[in-house]
Structure 1
Amino acid sequence: MALPVQQQAKYWGIATTVLLIALWFLGDVILPFVLGGAIAYCLDPIADRFEAMGFSRTVSVTIITLAAAVVFIILILLVIPTLISQTTQLVNTAPELFSRLQAALTDRFPSILDSESTVHKQLLAIGEAIQSKGGELMNSVLSSAIGLLNVVILLVIVPVVAFYLLLDWDRMTARIDELVPRDHVETVRMLARQIDNTLASFIRGQGTVCLILGTYYAVALMIAGLKFGLIVGFIAGLVTFIPYVGALVGGVLAVGLALFQFWSGTEMVDGVAVAHGTNWLRIGIVAGIFGFGQFLEGNILTPKLVGSSVGLHPVWLLFALSVFGSLFGFVGMLVAVPLAAIIGVLIRYAIEHYKGGRLYRGLSTDE
């Protein structure tokens, strides 16, 4: 005989509470295991394909690990130093860019930005804040990133955890299946398949889209001559998982930087001030890069790699990232997407049963 509904709800509530408490108190401790688990989950289909080709699980995981190590070394040697350098230059250049914006607005809208206007005073205050806090902000971001993802975690713990989880992934899932209460095993399996489909479509598919678009934006902007093309492409690719936000944020940032870089003015070349006109062609190329990227994402990449229906609404994603990020910090942001997918599947399942129940259908409705 199955346990009463009230008792089952109590047990599942206790399990959920324990999970949230663990996230709250062990956030920094479980970070490498969360990262390792996410990597193992994303790479498991590749390992399964190697196994289908006749390789053993150990050989498959070893091949994947060696390939990942090569990619990581290439990133360390070629991409990451340039990314850090451009980020630092962008923060250091921000006060100058803001001053040029203020000067341009003052020239074009003198009646609005007079010395006594509220807008003018606010712009001055923002400029002073950027000048005083820009370097401090950069240093704090870098120190926080180093403290959060230190070299030991990146180079040792996360790869080791990912390796062993990937090696034992099938055995672990089978063991978890054995521990599921037998009265609910079919329901849990059905929900697990739906959750896996959602996560596979979103995390694996959307992750691939982010990687492709981020690489495209970075390479194309650098070829176009934009000074901070790599960091802009990195930012645009990073937030592409939220539909339209990546293109909007990256596009506004890139076009804004292009306007400052290619707008008419003077620049020092070998100690000599050289005047140049507005290069509308370069500005148009930068805008066109993001226009084509949006077309590529909406018509080719997302339909092919993610699918037409994932079940994760952009607003729901933003809400989950905000809530879990504020409650559990960086670890909360990492687990926000999978937890949002799980909660979404459970809510849809609950709504389906609610619509089939007496509460929704009423006493007069035939069963």
Structure 2
Amino acid sequence: MPLIRQGGWILAVALLGWLLYLLHPVLAPFLAGILLAYMGDPLVDRLEARRIPRTWAVVLVFALFGLLVLAALLVLIPMLGRQLVRLYELAPQMLDWLQLMALPWLQQQLGLAEDFWRFEQLKATFAGQLDGAGGIFARVLGQATASSLALLAWLGNLLLIPVVAFYLMRDWDLLMARLRALLPRSREASVVRLAGECHEVLGAFLRGQLLVMLALAVIYSTGLMLLGLELGLLIGVLAGLASVVPYMGFIVGLSAALAAALFQFGLAPLPLLGIGVVFMVGQMLEGMLLTPLLVGDRIGLHPVAVIFAILAGGQLFGFTGVLLALPVAAVIVVLLRHLHELYKLSDLYREPAAVVSDDPPGPA
């Protein structure tokens, strides 16, 4: 009977996973709503502790989220849009600079053949990609407006996110209590303890890591713009987002900033040195202040595991998988840690007890 019961649980979990895989194209607004409710619940609990009714606390948290989104729409997005347009305008000049200055110098230093780069072919290909990219938004908008049903479905999913988040945030504690009441009484304590560890890890990632990314984006963008780099804001935001992977933000941001500085300032040493200082300061603040203070060592993911999780999530579930890769990987690490503890307590791991012989010892 125990074997049959365990097989039934395994089958139920497998069926649930298969069902989620089939439904994942329509799960995006619900996942986004769950994420917003999970991140906003601690704020709602703090407001509720100050004797504010929970519904009004949820309204206040939603107002705060709305102000942040509005500020991003009114301030940050137009600035990034202008920098993207500027990047599109500078792209042909950058290609000419590579062709006339950078690559010939590198070719001379390395002793390469004259037609090694085949730059005209590369330039034509890249220019074609830029021309195609410039009309992507127009094509997508045209396809969306051509089908009223598709446009209504997209708008419906977008409007569904705050609705789902509002009701989940309002009833979050009630839902958690009902889920706890469904747990087997004999397993409740261990399941609650395991869920608490997963909650700690998820909280560390969702709140801590996102704050680290935001802080690095501000540090990099501010430093690069103070140096006079035209694309400083765009590169700084890109480096902050890429910092979700350890050292990736530093590598991507420094490489892009140095390339942009070489094009804008040439070989002037002060801008190049200033860019190196900006990213070194950002890296030092991340390692010694931001990550220990905001995240700590609670996630415990190796950098290789982080890269693999992001690639695997993108391969399996696309953009949604990329967003959920690290939280899911962090929870899997917690589960594997407990499985490791159970394995070390099992008879399979422990050495067999020494066999006691009944025969008296022989003469010395």
TM-score tier, shorter chain, comes to 0.7 to 0.9
Q: CA-to-partner distance for each residue in 1:308-354, whole Å, 9 max, x for gaps? A: 34222222122122112111112222222222122111111111111
Maintained 8 Å contact 1:58/1:167:
yes
Q: TM-score, normalised to structure 2's length? A: 0.85
Q: Which residue of 2 aligns with 1:248?
A: 251
Structure 1 residues 162 and 303: CA distance shift in structure 2, 3 A: same
Q: Which residue of 2 aligns with 1:29?
A: 26
Q: CA-to-partner distance for each residue in 1:65-97, whole Å, 9 max, x for gaps? A: 112212211211111122133224324533432
Q: Which residue of 2 aligns with 1:181?
A: 184
Structure 1 residue 210: deviation in Å? 0.8
Maintained 8 Å contact 1:218/1:232:
yes
Q: Which residue of 1 aligns with 2:280?
A: 291
Measured in 2, the distance between the counterparts of 1:43 and 1:260 equals 44
RMSD: 2.8
Q: Which residue of 1 aligns with 2:131?
A: 135
Measured in 1, the distance between the counterparts of 2:241 and 2:268 equals 29
Q: Which residue of 2 aligns with 1:215?
A: 218
Task: Name which one, 1 or 2, has greater alpha-carbon Rg.
Answer: 2
- 2:333 pairs, out of 331, 338, 344, with 344
Matched residue type, 1:129: T
Measured in 2, the distance between the counterparts of 1:95 and 1:164 equals 50
Structure 1 residues 6 and 253: CA distance shift in structure 2, 3 A: farther
Measured in 2, the distance between the counterparts of 1:21 and 1:98 equals 49
Structure 1 residues 108 and 365: CA distance shift in structure 2, 3 A: same
- 1:53 pairs, out of 32, 50, 71, with 50
Q: CA-to-partner distance for each residue in 1:223-250, whole Å, 9 max, x for gaps? A: 3221112221221111212221111111
1:100 and 2:89 equivalent? Answer: no
1:90 and 2:87 equivalent? Answer: yes
Maintained 8 Å contact 2:200/2:298:
no
Measured in 1, the distance between the counterparts of 2:349 and 2:316 equals 34
Measured in 2, the distance between the counterparts of 1:312 and 1:138 equals 38
Structure 1 residues 341 and 9: CA distance shift in structure 2, 3 A: farther
Q: Which residue of 2 aligns with 1:271?
A: none
Unaligned ranges ≥5, structure 1:
264-277
- 2:320 pairs, out of 324, 331, 340, with 331
Matched residue type, 1:195: C
Q: Which residue of 1 aligns with 2:122?
A: 126
Q: Which residue of 1 aligns with 2:360?
A: none
- Percent of aligned positions that are identical: 35
Structure 1 residues 358 and 241: CA distance shift in structure 2, 3 A: same
Measured in 1, the distance between the counterparts of 2:126 and 2:354 equals 65
User: SS at the partner of 1:361?
Assistant: coil
Measured in 2, the distance between the counterparts of 1:279 and 1:166 equals 54
Q: TM-score, normalised to structure 1's length? A: 0.85
Q: Which residue of 2 aligns with 1:361?
A: 350
Measured in 1, the distance between the counterparts of 2:306 and 2:135 equals 29
Structure 1 residue 9: deviation in Å? 4.7
Structure 1 residue 304: deviation in Å? 0.5
User: SS at the partner of 2:51?
Assistant: coil
Q: CA-to-partner distance for each residue in 1:153-201, whole Å, 9 max, x for gaps? A: 6862222222222111111111111222333222211111111111111
Q: Which residue of 2 aligns with 1:267?
A: none
Structure 1 residues 152 and 218: CA distance shift in structure 2, 3 A: farther
Structure 1 residues 141 and 185: CA distance shift in structure 2, 3 A: farther
Structure 1 residue 131: deviation in Å? 1.3
1:18 and 2:23 equivalent? Answer: no
1:258 and 2:261 equivalent? Answer: yes
Unaligned ranges ≥5, structure 2:
145-149, 356-364
Maintained 8 Å contact 1:94/1:130:
no
Maintained 8 Å contact 1:92/1:135:
no
Structure 1 residues 157 and 114: CA distance shift in structure 2, 3 A: same
